[in-house]
Amino acid sequence: MTDAHQEQAAVVAAVALGPLRVAVNCAGIGMASRTVGRDGQPHDLDVFRTVININLIGTFNVIRLAAAAMNKTDPLADGERGVIVNTASIAAFDGQIGQIAYSASKAGIVGLTLPAARDLSPAGIRVITIAPGIFDTPLLGLMPETQRQALADGIPFPKRLGYPADFAGLVEEIVRNDYVNGETIRLDGALRMAPR
């Protein structure tokens, strides 16, 4: 996500397989650090830049490259050329202590969703963002089961971690439903994160 040439190569490879109609941005990292640590030291500026560069700038770069490729395709019967689905996080709204860089990067993705959808509407390209909550990912798979269960117990309903199929199902619905545009959709079982 920090190499614009690799992102361009991925778009070129996708176009070679057929017209590019759907792009899904899922890459992201998080590095925990307080604005001022308990030791009195300020947040490392390079860490903040790295998170913003990967999560926000990398996402924007894929948006612009995919949109340019989609813009060259013939529109479908309804005028649509494609859809771009970005991944934010509920941390964009409920950032926890130590998540300042991550939350800022994901809030940036939320913030660019509507203007990107408006910018790309004349070309028939939709832009939507999904803000997932706590999902059962390989990273969480490294946690002890008691910690995983504690996370699941904090989710109002359903009392479980999100499944990759939940995310994929929402992407499928977004692709199918051409009236969804310019919106960020929380996918979190009604979870609202506490400060810690």
Each residue's pLDDT, cut to its tens digit, for the chain (196 residues) gives: 778 888 999 999 999 999 999 999 998 898 999 999 999 999 999 999 999 999 999 999 999 999 999 999 999 999 999 999 999 999 999 999 999 999 999 999 999 999 999 999 999 999 999 999 999 988 788 888 998 899 999 999 999 999 999 999 999 999 999 999 999 999 999 999 889 8
DSSP 88-144: --THHHHPPTTBHHHHHHHHHHHHHHHHHHHHHGGGTEEEEEEEE-SB--HHHHTS-
Kindly report the CA angle at 128 between 158 and 131, in degrees rounded to 5?
35
CATH of 4-187, one of 2.60.120.10, 3.40.430.10, 3.30.565.10, 3.40.50.720: 3.40.50.720
By the 8 A CB rule, do 94 and 136 touch? no
Distance CA 37, CA 39 (A): 5
pLDDT tens profile 69-96 = 999 999 999 999 999 999 999 999 999 9
The pTM score is 0.94
* Catalytic status, residue 179: no
Catalytic residue among 56, 59, 102, 132, which?
Answer: 102
Tell me the domain boundaries of the chain. 4-187
